[in-house]
Structure 1
Amino acid sequence: MKSSIQSYTLNNGHMHILTSDHVYTYFPKHYHETYSMAMLYDGAKDFKLNNAQHILDNSNMATMNPCDIHYGNSVTDDGWKQLVIFFDEHAIKSFTEENQIKNKHFNFETMVSNDFQYRQDILTFCKSAINAESNLEVDHAYEQIIGRILAKEKHLSAEHKLNNCAGVKRSISLMHEVPDAKHRLNDLAKTANMSKFHYIRSFKDETGMTPHAYLNALRVERARKLLFSSPENLSDIAFDCGFADQAHLTRAYKKIYGMTPGSIIRK
């Protein structure tokens, strides 16, 4: 089977996630003009960054600043597979400005992070972005990635919370008024008069759910009611409730109710 490489673009090109089933065995000296983070999910490599040597495997993560020269080769004959994140200075600057964080110059302090939980958090957020079924979910994953990086590098308090129940409730009212609208994180956060990152945290404090999960549950509930009250077919119900298509509705409905909407006998 031919190997493939997938690239996912976030925040208008200010972040890219690159993943593949290609097996690497060697790469020569090179550098990137952006920040980058590399995680191996299969194999291990002898990794040299700025003339320092490391072993990179599925327990750690390489963190590289712009123009850091790096190269390496596999420690076994089997090679390695990896996921790499690239993000530019604008991604950091826009986040720090929006969240009113003192904008000192950002740099990764360590070349290889052995903090396994940090690695897993970043990997989880990346997978959320890759598997996202809506722009709202992509926006959420992006904010979480940048916020987690800045918290780790001590530019942001990981425990910082901003309580704004009234603002969160305004955004919830907007979701209920137009559940079929293509809500974006930026618009919901503006309705709440909060930064996107603090809105995500405050929303979860208030509801126990992410904005995307809450909106999905609302749309599923609207669809459930229509299943019993409307003669429309499933495709039209999905569209009316804000789902991309019938398959999207089916996945969301089954996740909550454990059955597909098509299995319901409508009389």
Structure 2
Amino acid sequence: MKLEMTTGRLELYKYEEAYVNEPHRHSDWFQVTIPVRGACEFTQSGKNYRLAEGEVLLQRPAEEHHFRTGPGESVLIVKLHESLFPVPQGCGNRLDVNPSEAAEKFGFWTSGLINSRNEQSLRAAESLVVLDVKRMLEAGMPAAGGQETESETELIASIVDPHLRDAWDYIRAHYKSAVPVETLSAIALQSRYHFIRSFKAATGLTPHQTVLKLRMREARRLLAGTSETVTAISAGLGFSSASQFYRAFLKDTGKTPERYRHDSRG
């Protein structure tokens, strides 16, 4: 299924199930790609990414890109004309958002556009999309020093079950070491099976995806801002070997750790 809504200054798309498009570029447009269910295989400027739920990739004007999704997967695309969209200062191309929140906001955006009855209400609906996307990107930007981000704060507040919140807190505190699902399910007072289901329903990610997401974010920060070796970073983040970390980082970012460090420092 494909849902499409366009105005002269923004475009909204929702792709569900299997979909693939051809390499293309937008000369005067920014694009924000947000997987909200499953993963999205994305190629941008010749680099391959596998985006998990909530992992946002920003396409800037004239960057060639294309993507594909598989059965059971869903991705949101927001295109904003560059005259409409001030990118937050310091914003990179990779960010993290709450996929459930993004899907909910997408529904509000489309509803606002559908119900626009004149030019004034249309401009108001467009402005809401721009404001929400800007806030979403700002909240998803990595915090300095590996501190908790605004998006994480909002996520914690949205977890109603206090025991699930305790499990999240445990992951946040121990993601650099082994985090057994059995330990987390005991904290949440649930069986292993029900814990995994309820945790993903509450956060949009499985426990394993959450641990890996936190590790990759910290790895990017360390590579960009410190002189620690790749081996030291790998060991410090709980990977069994440097090669395991190397594969995970390459899959997450589309770059080797060394290339990411080089590019982040100009």
User: Does the TM-score normalized on the shorter chain lie above 0.5?
Assistant: no
TM-score band, normalised by shorter chain: 0.3 to 0.5
TM-score by length of 1: 0.40
TM-score by length of 2: 0.40
- By relative contact order (CA 8 Å, sep 6+), the higher-ranking structure is 2
User: Which structure has the bigger radius of gyration?
Assistant: 1
